[in-house]
Chain A
Amino acid sequence: MVVVIVILVLVAIGVAIGLWWSRNRQQRPAPLAAPVDPLAEGRGGPLEGLGVGAVVAFGGHDYVVRGEIRFDEDGYVWSEYHLDAGGDERTWLSVDLSDGTDVALWRPAEDAGELEPSGPVTHGGRTYKKVESGKARFTSTGTTGVPDSGAAWYVDYKAEGGKRLGFERWSQEGSWEVSTGEVVPAHLLEIYPAGRSSGAGA
């Protein structure tokens, strides 16, 4: 009889402890959410829906996004989108959201010749100054002309008026691909996202 009473008391103590712990856990204040930049690019921004299969309208042209190369240099990420307006010219859209919204449209540099990224570079009557260079890991989706993943080397130049000159190569011994770019205000781009049924003909 005494044993039964002791067991009942122990069970009651256990239940009381459990109820106290549960109530204490519920009353514990939720951890504070990490601060969020209220002006950061996000849902509803001008680039919402940009991705492979989407359409980008700019400057009177409609470009189908055929591929994306996503770069990562020690956590610093940006993307380049392969745009196709139906012609032979390869057009790229670079998007860098790490520090504001930096968008630029790129085309192969005409008469690049033997341009090399060393010191200031003069091309097309403009003098470009080097701003940064590095090596980044990349992953590719869709049609881009590069492997699915790998390493890329880049050197970026800038001139007045938002003009850019970019060097990229996909192996340390490979030749540089030279492109000229112009900064594009993101709000001037019209993005038509790829539908859930993308790929089906009209």
Chain B
Amino acid sequence: MSDPVAGAPTPDGGPVAAARTAMEAAREATGAAITARAQALAEAARLRERSQAAGGLAELTSSANAHDARAARLDARIDQLRDLAHRAEVAYEALRADRGDADDQPAPSAPAA
């Protein structure tokens, strides 16, 4: 966005900054979902070990299955969030590139008197 009075471009970090914030939030959400899945799988593995050590305690095996199911449900959410993060990154980089093109444009000439 250029300043028609001064004839020189002014900083326009609004949409770029907002897009970066959105990208970072999407990445953090993806990481959090992946971590939650890893925690669910680790808990399922721990419960299975405990169940085996206890001679196949059904309740522990059932709890392990529940954690596995939770991890499986997170798979779809992770895919959605990963896609969202990629789209946010594409939008952010496109905005940055657009801003760079605008900065490269010659400053508009002063209006004729």
Residues of A within 8 A of B (CB): 49, 53-55, 57, 62, 64, 84-86, 191-198, 200-202
Q: By the criterion CB–CB under 8 Å, are B34 and A62 in contact?
A: yes
Question: Interface stretch among B1-9, B22-30, B56-64, B105-113?
Answer: B22-30
B64 to chain A, nearest CB (A): 14
Q: By the criterion CB–CB under 8 Å, are B74 and A202 in contact?
A: yes
Residues of B within 8 A of A (CB): 24, 27-39, 41-42, 45, 74, 78, 82, 85
Partner of A86, one of B42, B74, B82: B42
Q: By the criterion CB–CB under 8 Å, are A194 and B28 in contact?
A: yes
Chain B residues near A201: list those with CB within 8 A: 36, 39
Chain A residues near B27: list those with CB within 8 A: 49, 191-193
Give the docked Cα–Cα distance between A49 and B85 (Å): 14
Q: By the criterion CB–CB under 8 Å, are B28 and A202 in contact?
A: no
Q: By the criterion CB–CB under 8 Å, are A193 and B38 in contact?
A: no
Give the docked Cα–Cα distance between A202 and B33 (Å): 7
Chain B contact residues: helix, strand, loop or mixed: helix
Give the docked Cα–Cα distance between A62 and B41 (Å): 13
Partner of A202, one of B32, B42, B82: B32
B15 to chain A, nearest CB (A): 17
Given contacts A193-B31, A198-B35, 13 further A-B contacts (CB under 8 A): A57-B82, A62-B38, A62-B78, A64-B38, A191-B27, A192-B30, A192-B31, A195-B31, A198-B31, A200-B32, A202-B32, A202-B36, A202-B74
9 contacts between A and B (CB under 8 A): A49-B27, A54-B31, A62-B38, A64-B35, A192-B85, A194-B31, A195-B28, A195-B32, A200-B32
A19 to chain B, nearest CB (A): 33
Chain B residues near A198: list those with CB within 8 A: 31-32, 35
Chain B residues near A62: list those with CB within 8 A: 34, 37-38, 78
A82 to chain B, nearest CB (A): 13
Give the docked Cα–Cα distance between A49 and B36 (Å): 18
Give the docked Cα–Cα distance between A62 and B39 (Å): 13
Partner of B30, one of A55, A86, A197: A55
A58 to chain B, nearest CB (A): 12
Partner of A192, one of B28, B36, B41: B28
Q: Which has the most chain A C-beta neighbours within 10 Å: B35, B36, B78? A: B35
Q: By the criterion CB–CB under 8 Å, are A86 and B34 in contact?
A: no
Give the docked Cα–Cα distance between A201 and B38 (Å): 11
Chain A residues near B42: list those with CB within 8 A: 86
